[in-house]
Structure 1
Amino acid sequence: MGHFKYASDVGAPVEVAFTYTDNHQFVPDWAFGVADFEPVGDLDHGSGAVFTTTLRVGLWHPTVECEITDYRRNAVIEYTLRRRRTGKPAPAGSPLAVLSLRFDPLGYGRAVLTSETEYWAPQGLTGRLLSRMLAAAVQSMVRRTESQLRREIEEFHGTDLVGRIA
């Protein structure tokens, strides 16, 4: 299992940042590698909402299932990616990755966006051989996602503040 965490200063209040991120229609705009993000059923936000997600990974375009597994208004949205089984929801115990977005007030109409990702590499010899390459790819994807989300939130809010905090 791998783990990455980034934090950044966002030029928008927590409520604005969370509202933008909570809208499933905007996910392809900020999530690196996501081509399509459609709700399954009537629930399109909040804990338990499930989405069919089409990824863009080079020439490969897999479809996976994404579920919101932790949801606290104006505080946390956690997405869990799982393999999709045709016609059935994915089993609960087989995540590919978990992306947690935490929003904390910073004052003066600004917020701290913390992106935390855990991912699971393939098992066996293949997983060991690809682990470093996979770690570098996931780290780059998480960094790009966090950076793009910050820019999109600021554009949504109408500000142009760019800042980073460790």
Structure 2
Amino acid sequence: MSEVCFTATCDAPLDVTFAYLDDYRNVLEYMHGMTSYRPVGELDHGLGAMYESTIKLGPSTQKSTIKNVCWEKNARVSYESVSGMRSTTTFVFRELPGQRSEVEVRIGFSLPGGIAGRALEKTLEPFIAAAAKNTAANISRVVSAHYARQVAAAGNADSPRP
């Protein structure tokens, strides 16, 4: 199994970062290459929730169904594939000083197909490395912008109206 790890720093408090990344509706905004991501079943987040996903990595498009196997509010979320491309994804959240937070992301994957799958993994590694870098930048950007909008909206709500 190949693995990629990256860290994103967000100009947002821990609870805001966790809530944003825990919401499946936001995945397409930050996960580079993800073209579809939707819940299947009754749960749409938390332990046991399942999602169908499609991700485009270079010349390859991979589909899988993943299941949430760990959910600790404001601390950790982990997923494992139950069909399609074999994968594990873990988000570890940390609070930083000054209303900031950090997310460490670990993605492990292996493609089906024995020797051919392993060869394709090697071909995709540069695309996956670029996707990880872009995903880290996206997480920092979209979570920080989301929090800035929340702060601005709260400030406008407190402003006197003419």
Q: TM-score range by the shorter chain?
A: 0.7 to 0.9
Residue by residue over 1:55-76, the C-alpha shift from the partner in whole angstroms, topping out at 9 and shown as x without a partner, is: 3346765532121121110011
| Equivalent position SS for 1:37 | strand
Residue by residue over 1:69-121, the C-alpha shift from the partner in whole angstroms, topping out at 9 and shown as x without a partner, is: 2111001112223435xxxxxxxxxx622121111011110111111111124
| Equivalent position SS for 1:143 | helix
Q: Which residue matches 1:44?
A: 44
| Equivalent position SS for 1:42 | coil
8 Å CA contact retained: 1:70, 1:78: yes
1:157 counterpart = 2:147: yes
1:124-135 aligned at under 5 Å gives the runs 124-135=114-125
Identity of counterpart residues, as a percentage? 23
1:97-116 aligned at under 5 Å gives the runs 97-116=87-106
Greater helix fraction, Structure 1 or Structure 2:
2
8 Å CA contact retained: 2:58, 2:127: no
**CA positional deviation for 1:29:** 1.2
Higher relative contact order (CA 8 A, sep 6+): 1
8 Å CA contact retained: 1:121, 1:134: no
8 Å CA contact retained: 2:90, 2:105: yes
**CA positional deviation for 1:11:** 0.7
CA 124–43 in structure 1, closer or farther in 2 if over 3 Å, else same: closer
Instruction: Report runs of 4+ in structure 1 exceeding 6 Å deviation.
Output: none
Residue by residue over 1:110-146, the C-alpha shift from the partner in whole angstroms, topping out at 9 and shown as x without a partner, is: 1111111111244643245334322222222222222
How high is the TM-score relative to the length of structure 1?
0.78
CA 43–62 in structure 1, closer or farther in 2 if over 3 Å, else same: same
CA 62–2 in structure 1, closer or farther in 2 if over 3 Å, else same: closer
Gaps of 5+ in 1: 85-94, 160-166
1:146 counterpart = 2:140: no
* Aligned residue pair count: 149
1:79 counterpart = 2:79: yes
Q: Which amino acid is the alignment partner of residue 74 of structure 1?
A: N
CA 60–121 in structure 1, closer or farther in 2 if over 3 Å, else same: closer
Q: Which amino acid is the alignment partner of residue 156 of structure 1?
A: H
Residue by residue over 1:10-46, the C-alpha shift from the partner in whole angstroms, topping out at 9 and shown as x without a partner, is: 1111100000011111111111122221111221000
Q: Which residue matches 2:22?
A: 22
Q: Which residue matches 1:68?
A: 68
Distance across 2 between alignment mates of 1:20 and 1:110: 14
How high is the TM-score relative to the length of structure 2?
0.80
RMSD between aligned alpha carbons? 2.3
